[in-house]
Amino acid sequence: MPADRGTRTQPAAAPAPAGPADFAALDALVRPRSVAIVGASDDPKRIGGRPIAYLKQQGFAGAVWPVNPNRPTVQGLPAFASVAALPEAPDVAIVAVPGALANEAVEALGARGCRAAIVFTSGFAEVDEAGAAAQAALVATARRHGMRILGPNSLGLFNAAINFYPTFSTSFEQGWPLPGRIGIASQSGAYGTHIFTIARARGLGTPICIMTGNEADLSVGEVIGWMAQSEEVDVIAAYAEGIRESERFVAALDLARRNRKPVVMMKVGRSALGAHAARSHTASIAGDDAVTQAVLDEFGVVRARTTEEMLDIAYAATKRIYPARNTLGVLTISGGAGVLISDAAEALGLAMPPMPEAAQAELRALVPFCGPRNPVDCTAQVANDWPLVGRFAESVAADGGYSSIIAFFTQTAGSRTVGEALREQLKGAIARHPDRLWVLSAILPEEGRRRYEEDGFLVFEDPSRAVVALHAMGRFGESFARAGQTAAAVPLPEVRLPGTTPSEAVAKRLLAEAGVPAVPERACGDAAAAVAAAEEIGYPVVLKILSPDILHKSEIGGVLLDVRDAAGVRAGVATLLERARERAPGARIEGVLVAKQIAGAVEMALGITRDPVFGPVAMVGLGGVFIEVLKDFALHRCPLDPAQAERMVRSLRGFPLLDGARGRPKADVAALARALSRLSAFAAAAGPRLRSVDVNPLLVLPEGQGCYAADAVIELAEG
């Protein structure tokens, strides 16, 4: 494992307790019948006043109970002097009191029987150690009462479907959330509402948005899980700076996949600089971004680099068409756009197979100088005869059979003079093939865009952005298809770790018992034993002098290669003992080591490290420069099955070296994948005392001949 992957910071606060996610608490948070506001203000611009103003203005149908000891009414509503004075336990409470009073408020709410609180109050783990301690106390109070907390330092949430706005965000100035099926789960309040505001400006409906703040209790992971089982949400857009706990996060991603709900995520802090900034400004831990990426990949979460990309993908996902084998067909009026789209598709690995030959011939008969292959360039000829566009579009869908289709018509689609004639043709094609992802790439006024969207099109001005979004739909589809397969349970070996870090020999034995074979070798006291060992191992063998006092065997000529028969073994043993006597006179000689001679192998490195969030993580890469210099390695949580292990191996940039590049025989990738899977099972079974494993090199022989660990180091915490 490369040395420069950064140091890990331990979490500042204890993660949420393990166990099944508590969706009932989230139901109460998002769909309550009553809400109390502790620290309610009569001023609708103050933090404790703003949610009351929103709830009134938007007409929340449930009960709204301001708690304020100094006023009989708050913003026209009867106020209660204390939590104890409330008519009954509220489904949810907002805590908007100053920091020092928050714990007391939570205590009072818990005692009153309230099960969930949204804590706006800030000044906790995000500022300093004292704040972290106060936050831990807050959580302890809540847990004592079986109460769940969103925050502290949370901007709150909203559920527009029931006009519930327990938030002090000012982001509604430009409009209230639109109806739709996208849920936003964001650690950051500022960025969560930023996403909402941009989505709204684009006409995207995000009626539910939940901002977890410091995540002292509820985390983005648990929120994703709730959305995955919620009837209101089809598409989950998530934002996080760090993942705080793994169990519910992983369970949530698994549930989303099983329920065919795509998760598109911005996980920022991928760079060293970004991770530093993330650590310094929030209570979040940075963890290892590469490990997080591996977990997102495992569950088919698409990671967006920008807000635009996230919303492009969420927008496309609202069609709920997720092709397991995505292909892209392109119909274009501009050859240049066809080239540009082809570049973008190839860069992402989105397949653009050619149209069938017969269909190409038919299109050529319609428009002699068209480009019928794919991209299908209907040329500006169609401007003289718009029904041609309908025939081209029909052919791309019916003959090409593509699951994703981009129709590029630039400003023509919005033209006052010809736009409607074009639209009629495209509308017919999409109506006949509603099971495809249809994109119109065009420059359109808002009204024109709306009309094409009503016809069923996704509308993207920039075709390159459309390609990114369509590619994501295929990644969701592939992942959903894998969720349907019964994942082979990985059997865990029985592992008994020694009390201290073991020697190389013991390490190799432990791994061999777990199913990671070591190079066959035998320690032999004399020539007869050496011959027997060589016969058992199979020729050719390597002979090495065996002495605790000789560290650099080859310097005294203590290694003999390519020994091919019994006579050679006998002669070799004599030679080695002779040389040892001569060249290392004081050394204690224990005999010789007889080892299988491995030739023609590809050197790989396998490893295990322990991630502070996700636990043991398996690594594979090619040996030598690949891992350290080229950063070419793959990671996966432990354990993983051989199929997952093989996908990891095949994802390496250097994979061609295992696959017959440069005239080599193909390597035994199946054996390599088995070894990696077994190593991961060993790590999963070994428990938290296992700090790391380094198998380097693992020698992978040609197909059918297996692979062998030539060296191994196991590092343990004190037993």
Segment contacting its own copies by CB under 8 A, of 533-541, 605-613, 652-660, 675-683: 652-660
Q: Which of 7, 306, 485, 486 binds its own copies (CB under 8 A)?
A: 306
Least CB distance to its own copies at residue 259 (A) = 28
> Applying CB under 8 A, does 365 fall inside the site for its own copies?
no
Q: Could you write out the three-class secondary structure of 330-399?
A: EEECCHHHHHHHHHHHHHHCCECCCCCHHHHHHHHHHCCCCECCCCEECCHHHHHCCHHHHHHHHHHHHC
Least CB distance to its own copies at residue 383 (A) = 9
369/548 with CB nearer its own copies: 369
Q: Which of 44, 62, 205, 335 binds its own copies (CB under 8 A)?
A: 335
81/380 with CB nearer its own copies: 380
> Applying CB under 8 A, does 293 fall inside the site for its own copies?
no
> Applying CB under 8 A, does 340 fall inside the site for its own copies?
yes
Segment contacting its own copies by CB under 8 A, of 385-393, 462-470, 479-487, 633-641: 462-470
| Nearest-angstrom CA–CA distance, 195 and 197 | 6
| Nearest-angstrom CA–CA distance, 219 and 236 | 14
Segment contacting its own copies by CB under 8 A, of 261-269, 469-477, 604-612, 695-703: 261-269
Q: Which of 18, 84, 365, 380 binds its own copies (CB under 8 A)?
A: 380
The neighbouring-strand residues paired with 149 are 117
Q: Which of 360, 395, 410, 479 binds its own copies (CB under 8 A)?
A: 410
Task: Give the length of the chain.
Answer: 719
The neighbouring-strand residues paired with 371 are 377
> Applying CB under 8 A, does 650 fall inside the site for its own copies?
no
Among 473, 172, 182, which Cα is nearest to 316's? 473
> Applying CB under 8 A, does 281 fall inside the site for its own copies?
yes
Segment contacting its own copies by CB under 8 A, of 83-91, 169-177, 449-457, 476-484: 169-177
| Nearest-angstrom CA–CA distance, 594 and 560 | 10
Among 146, 115, 142, which Cα is nearest to 36's? 115
DSSP state of 4: T
> Applying CB under 8 A, does 197 fall inside the site for its own copies?
yes
Counting Cβ atoms within 10 Å, is residue 56 exposed (0-12), middle (13-18) or buried (19+)? Answer: middle
Least CB distance to its own copies at residue 694 (A) = 16
Q: Does residue 375 have a cis peptide bond before it, meaning omega lies within 30 degrees of 0? A: yes
> Applying CB under 8 A, does 337 fall inside the site for its own copies?
yes
| Total residues binding its own copies (CB under 8 A) | 80
Q: Could you write out the three-class secondary structure of 468-518?
A: HHHHHHHHHHHHHHHHHCCCCCCCCCCCCCCCCCCCHHHHHHHHHHHCCCE
Counting Cβ atoms within 10 Å, is residue 177 exposed (0-12), middle (13-18) or buried (19+)? Answer: buried
Q: Does residue 612 have a cis peptide bond before it, meaning omega lies within 30 degrees of 0? A: no
Owner of token pair 């040395």: 3
Residue ranges in 420-449 that form contacts with its own copies under rule CB under 8 A: 443, 445
341/606 with CB nearer its own copies: 341
Residue ranges in 483-522 that form contacts with its own copies under rule CB under 8 A: none
Segment contacting its own copies by CB under 8 A, of 341-349, 421-429, 494-502, 503-511: 341-349
DSSP assignment of 572-631: HHHHHHHHHHHHSTT----EEEEEEPP-SPEEEEEEEEEETTTEEEEEEEETTHHHHTT-
Strands annotated E in 212-319: 235-240, 263-267, 302-303
| Residue 691 CB neighbour total at 10 angstroms | 15
> Applying CB under 8 A, does 402 fall inside the site for its own copies?
no
> Applying CB under 8 A, does 584 fall inside the site for its own copies?
no
Residue ranges in 343-362 that form contacts with its own copies under rule CB under 8 A: 343-347, 352
Q: Which of 163, 318, 464, 597 binds its own copies (CB under 8 A)?
A: 464
Least CB distance to its own copies at residue 697 (A) = 14
Q: What is the CA radius of gyration of the chain?
A: 32
369/496 with CB nearer its own copies: 369
> Applying CB under 8 A, does 582 fall inside the site for its own copies?
no
Q: Which of 17, 146, 336, 538 binds its own copies (CB under 8 A)?
A: 336
> Applying CB under 8 A, does 3 fall inside the site for its own copies?
no
322/408 with CB nearer its own copies: 408
- Four-CA torsion 194, 199, 201, 202, nearest 10 degrees: 150
| Nearest-angstrom CA–CA distance, 509 and 518 | 8
Segment contacting its own copies by CB under 8 A, of 104-112, 266-274, 357-365, 504-512: 266-274
71/373 with CB nearer its own copies: 373
> Applying CB under 8 A, does 549 fall inside the site for its own copies?
no
Q: Are 634 and 649 a contacting pair, CB within 8 Å?
A: yes
> Applying CB under 8 A, does 417 fall inside the site for its own copies?
yes
Q: Which of 339, 481, 566, 571 binds its own copies (CB under 8 A)?
A: 339
Q: Measured between alpha carbons, how far apart are the two ends of the chain, in Å?
A: 24
240 phi and psi angles, rounded to 5 deg: -150, 150
Least CB distance to its own copies at residue 499 (A) = 33
Q: Which of 59, 662, 688, 704 binds its own copies (CB under 8 A)?
A: 662
Q: Which of 358, 548, 629, 704 binds its own copies (CB under 8 A)?
A: 629
Segment contacting its own copies by CB under 8 A, of 194-202, 498-506, 605-613, 705-713: 194-202
> Applying CB under 8 A, does 412 fall inside the site for its own copies?
yes
13/79 with CB nearer its own copies: 13
Least CB distance to its own copies at residue 692 (A) = 20
Q: Which helix (H) or strand (E) holds 442?
A: strand 437-442
Among 236, 243, 224, which Cα is nearest to 282's? 243
> Applying CB under 8 A, does 377 fall inside the site for its own copies?
yes
Q: Which residues, other chains included, contact 176 with Cβ-Cβ below 8 Å and sequence gap of 6+?
A: 58, 160
Cα 496 to chain center, whole Å? 32
| Nearest-angstrom CA–CA distance, 297 and 637 | 11
280/486 with CB nearer its own copies: 280
Q: Which residue type sits at 61? A: A
632/641 with CB nearer its own copies: 632
Q: Which of 266, 524, 573, 638 binds its own copies (CB under 8 A)?
A: 266
Least CB distance to its own copies at residue 346 (A) = 4
> Applying CB under 8 A, does 414 fall inside the site for its own copies?
yes
> Applying CB under 8 A, does 367 fall inside the site for its own copies?
no
> Applying CB under 8 A, does 268 fall inside the site for its own copies?
yes
> Applying CB under 8 A, does 597 fall inside the site for its own copies?
no
Segment contacting its own copies by CB under 8 A, of 2-10, 105-113, 333-341, 538-546: 333-341
> Applying CB under 8 A, does 187 fall inside the site for its own copies?
yes
Among 336, 317, 327, which Cα is nearest to 406's? 327
Q: Which of 104, 107, 424, 628 binds its own copies (CB under 8 A)?
A: 628
The token duo for 359 is 């269909």
Strands annotated E in 623-711: 633-637, 690-700, 707-709
Least CB distance to its own copies at residue 292 (A) = 13
224/690 with CB nearer its own copies: 224
